[in-house]
Structure 1
């Protein structure tokens, strides 16, 4: 039996992961900013993280798996995104995960064991146009995870980073509205995805058990990752084509004189 804490566990991938862990008998502390979960946890709040750590110590006597899942969606062209947009995305997606890692690392070191699972995105590895804020935030989570893998390994602490492509979830509700046209494209991709959160969660739990570092839980993510590594010319051509499409759409939406 594992002791697991999951952020953003009220819905989407977080809820699917919680259900998977609970179904096999693990003890799971489900956290979120909404009602109806085990513990309220705003991942941008140091005080909330401290309260979660205290609860884990008191109720679980330790922790085996920390899942930094909570995050927000983002998209838009660089000249349409405000400074406030960037601050919000980086605060939630990057510093939220950082604070979770900072909070629980001393416990993991005391135990001489633990597993950090940071949920990033395929956008942390492949960086399409008109998604700069989201790409940057998820790439930072990938870099954080790799750094901690080497830093904490000597203490017996393992790390995984999860990089799925689009799957059906309620993540689109967190879009900020800075660039509605680009965001509508993201919403269509999320809502029209072939996979649901439960399918992604099944692969994630399997690969976490295997202590796999880079978890690409769906075929689209794996294909795109291989293309960037081994067929860079084709990858670049595809990305430039998406950029050209954005330019055509921007010209079409400009007022005609």
Structure 2
């Protein structure tokens, strides 16, 4: 039985992961920014922007469980926009949550995992961390940063018996669209449609993610669209570039009122 902490655990993929982990018999600490959890699962309020909250989470795991086996850094928000439209304040917000939130979590639990000589860190990135569509500069950047951080830690922590995975799904149906803020209303609308109309569900993604964790895979790409996009970039770069530029050209045409 693993001792597991999940951030962003009250909704979307985080909630799906918590429910499936509990069903498999694991001990789970659900964390999120709200003051109270959605059910009677052990819950801790944790704002990933707060180093103090992270320290409290590590202390809770030490006090109640004597350590932790699996840290799932899942909390995040959706964002995006054209480089000259999205504000710097929006950039600051997504960097603080989606990238630095993961950094803080890894920093908070690395000493515990090193002392234990065991542990598994799972960081939720996105297909946007591997392939980089236009009009998504801030989101692509932070998710690519999560991939880079994960790879770095997979090597850095290996001598201590600590493993790392990074999760890179494409759009799936979730309430993530509710977190979209920013100045580029047109791009926000596109992102919302892609999330809400996806045929993929959080439960389906969570099932594949947990199987990847069980196998200790580093790169977990849990759906076919994300996998195909990544393979196209790696093995058919001219085709990938044409697809990305086609998306950008259509966006320009919409912006200029050509279509």
TM over 0.5, shorter chain: yes
Matched with 1:215 is 220
Matched with 1:108 is 113
CA contact (8 A) 2:12 2:202 kept: yes
Aligned counterpart for 2:207 among listed residues 202, 206, 210: 202
What residue ranges of structure 1 are gaps of 5+ in the alignment?
none
CA contact (8 A) 1:68 1:118 kept: yes
TM-score under structure 1 normalisation? 0.97
- 2:242 and 2:102 map into 1 onto residues whose CA distance is 33
Q: Secondary structure at the match of 1:116?
A: strand
- 1:252 and 1:36 map into 2 onto residues whose CA distance is 47
TM-score under structure 2 normalisation? 0.97
Aligned counterpart for 1:227 among listed residues 218, 232, 237: 232
User: What is the CA distance between 1:71 and its match in structure 2?
Assistant: 0.5
User: What is the CA distance between 1:60 and its match in structure 2?
Assistant: 1.1
- 1:170 and 1:60 map into 2 onto residues whose CA distance is 31
User: What is the CA distance between 1:29 and its match in structure 2?
Assistant: 0.2
- 2:156 and 2:98 map into 1 onto residues whose CA distance is 21
1:19-38 matched pairs, under 5 angstroms: 19-37=19-37, 38=43
CA RMSD of aligned residues (A): 1.1
Matched with 2:15 is 15
- 1:82 and 1:230 map into 2 onto residues whose CA distance is 35
Matched with 1:71 is 76
- 1:211 and 1:177 map into 2 onto residues whose CA distance is 36
Q: Secondary structure at the match of 2:8?
A: coil
- 1:60 and 1:33 map into 2 onto residues whose CA distance is 22
- 1:158 and 1:66 map into 2 onto residues whose CA distance is 11
1:5-154 matched pairs, under 5 angstroms: 5-37=5-37, 38-154=43-159
User: What is the CA distance between 1:83 and its match in structure 2?
Assistant: 1.1
CA contact (8 A) 1:4 1:26 kept: yes
User: What is the CA distance between 1:178 and its match in structure 2?
Assistant: 1.1
Q: Secondary structure at the match of 1:252?
A: coil
User: What is the CA distance between 1:177 and its match in structure 2?
Assistant: 2.9
Matched with 1:241 is 246
Where does structure 1 differ by over 3 angstroms across 4 or more consecutive aligned residues? none
What residue ranges of structure 2 are gaps of 5+ in the alignment?
38-42
